[in-house]
Structure 1
Amino acid sequence: MRIRRGFNLLLLLIPILPTQLWANPPPDDPLKSVQWITMYNLFLNKKPVVFDSRVNVIAPESAEDSMHVPVVVRVNELTDIQEILIFADFNPLPKVLRFIPTHASPFIGFRLKLQQATPVRAAVLTPTGWHVGGVWIDAAGGGCTLPSAGRTANTWESTLGKIRGRLWTHENTTRGKIQLMHPMDTGLVKGIPVFHLEKILLTQADGQILLQLEPFEPISENPIFTFEIPNNDTIIKLSATDTNGNSFTGELQK
């Protein structure tokens, strides 16, 4: 009987332990998401976190197409940015995109797949910790568990790796847009394994890195990214790899 009582006491204590493992207490979530603590523990727990109005996530209140939801992230006034992590609380695969703006503006536009209504957040890492902004997006759902149009039409192999893009001057900076043809399979559709772009690198002709993108499964099929870099009249080189080890290269110029 004494052993059994001691064992029961241990079971009662175990659920309390995770709250004692936080490196920093999580701040209250202004979006009131029940998944906030989970996201905090998954992605942000090792650094201080603040909700910051300088981190702007721009997106429609309601998604017309859950497989192609447009989002823009723009960061104002923050300096020494090490990375920007975008995630969606209620997606079955919440991590969306990691953006490292080495010599680029902290600005990125893209489209993502949403499984249901969810906050979409951008967390900006600086030497002082994470600065977080986000918005709720209402979505009918199913974006992560439906096959891509290329899979349905069986045309994805004929376009895989094709790259389109352009550069133009915008408000004293160079804005660029690139599209890489890829099915971006989540692995959540029966019979279709995970298969997506995992790294995109933009460099100057001399090899200087401008920015790095690490897309995850929720990025939309044939992804389009919009970015800003200092005014640049040289050729921009693009290189990318996917989860199957395929490599793709291209060039952008005004």
Structure 2
Amino acid sequence: MTTPFTHASPAIREGHRWWLGLAACWLLTVAATASATGMAAAAAPDDPFRSPMWHYNLNRYLGEAATVRHSDAVVLKVPHFAEDATQVPLTVDLSGFAAEVKEVITWVDLNPVPHLFTFQPEAAEVRAIALNFRIQQASTVRAAVRDAQGVWHIGSAQVDAAGGGCTAPSVTASNPDWAASLGRMHGALFSPVDAPAATRLKVQIMHPMDSGMVGNIPRFNIEVVELRGSADLVRLASMTLSESASENPLFVFDLKRAAQHGGIVLWMRDNGGNVFESRLGG
């Protein structure tokens, strides 16, 4: 029995073999890529909350080669249900984390912009960080803490919500005189009762923190926060913020500073180039 290929010219048969070889190479490449992706995903532990964004966000924020562990020492304090989807309080409690904290990254799995903040202590030890955020729908919230060995320790919590927080218009910007109060800060520096050797900084800044997800309103948010010693302006810690942070954000930092006394200078810059600064304590 013959086939059309049997009677084809040598040139046609050679071309056919070339296409078969190309297809085989493509299939091998796809298989190798899928295998590598599967191995990278398999290196991370399973997500107890079964979020569809678990592996994607790990790779995006921590890197595909990151060593990841779930940790009870990274405690996330959030409400079980967000009554106000535009103002959801979050506290990352690291008072029980025994290792040195090199970096903290937080994100909200199902937000349009999952990243919330990245915090890096420099000349200070961090015990806790608190900040309000927006939530678009019920989602798992994560905090990943990198220790001195490069291992990421992850704490997670689930927040139920009616949603819509990321696409709700700013209340602050609806005031025609909002620009007059832009960057106004209210805060204090004090020592917590349970840890007199530590320093707690609590500050709220007036800023619309527009997410850019409301029609005809561009993104306008604080991007960089720095804590500096008031005596020598040495940077104690820095934070980068994303659009998921709430408007008029309230920051709380519990810090332990080595050989550093006096007040703290809080310095911020938004994506419009505006710089805000406040000196607290000292």
Please report the TM-score for the alignment, with normalisation by the length of structure 2.
Answer: 0.83
Match of residue 160 from structure 2: 138
What RMSD in Å do the two structures reach over aligned CA positions? 2.2
2:175 and 2:221 mapped to 1: Cα distance? 18
Could you tell me which of 238, 243, 246 is aligned with 2:274? 246
- Aligned residue pairs, count: 254
Matches within 5 A, 1:189-200: 189-200=214-225
Match of residue 42 from structure 1: 60
Paired letter, 1:208: V
2:29 and 2:110 mapped to 1: Cα distance? 29
The alpha-carbon deviation at position 95 of structure 1 amounts to 0.3
Paired letter, 1:169: S
Could you tell me which of 53, 62, 78 is aligned with 2:98? 78
| Structure 1: stretches of 5+ with no match in the other structure | none
The alpha-carbon deviation at position 213 of structure 1 amounts to 1.6
Matches within 5 A, 1:15-34: 17-21=33-37, 22=40, 25-34=43-52
Higher mean alpha-carbon deviation, 62-71 vs 201-210, is at: 201-210
CA contact (8 A) 2:220 2:270 kept: yes
Deviations 1:1-38, CA, capped at 9 Å, x for gaps = 55555565526852761550539712111221111011
Match of residue 237 from structure 1: 265
Higher mean alpha-carbon deviation, 35-44 vs 62-71, is at: 35-44
1:139 and 1:2 mapped to 2: Cα distance? 58
Paired letter, 2:90: V
Q: Does 1:149 align with 2:171?
A: yes
Match of residue 14 from structure 1: 30
Paired letter, 1:243: N
- Pick closer, same or farther for the CA change 1:15–1:224 going to 2, 3 Å: farther
The alpha-carbon deviation at position 202 of structure 1 amounts to 1.1
Please report the TM-score for the alignment, with normalisation by the length of structure 1.
Answer: 0.92
- Pick closer, same or farther for the CA change 1:219–1:2 going to 2, 3 Å: same
2:35 and 2:143 mapped to 1: Cα distance? 24
- Pick closer, same or farther for the CA change 1:136–1:6 going to 2, 3 Å: farther
1:182 and 1:118 mapped to 2: Cα distance? 25
Could you tell me which of 247, 250, 256 is aligned with 1:224? 250
1:111 and 1:137 mapped to 2: Cα distance? 13
Match of residue 237 from structure 2: 211
1:160 and 1:209 mapped to 2: Cα distance? 24
1:239 and 1:184 mapped to 2: Cα distance? 16
CA contact (8 A) 1:110 1:226 kept: yes
SS at match of 1:138: strand
Q: Does 1:99 align with 2:119?
A: yes
Richer in helix (by share): 2
- Pick closer, same or farther for the CA change 1:18–1:167 going to 2, 3 Å: farther
CA contact (8 A) 2:208 2:248 kept: yes
SS at match of 2:98: coil
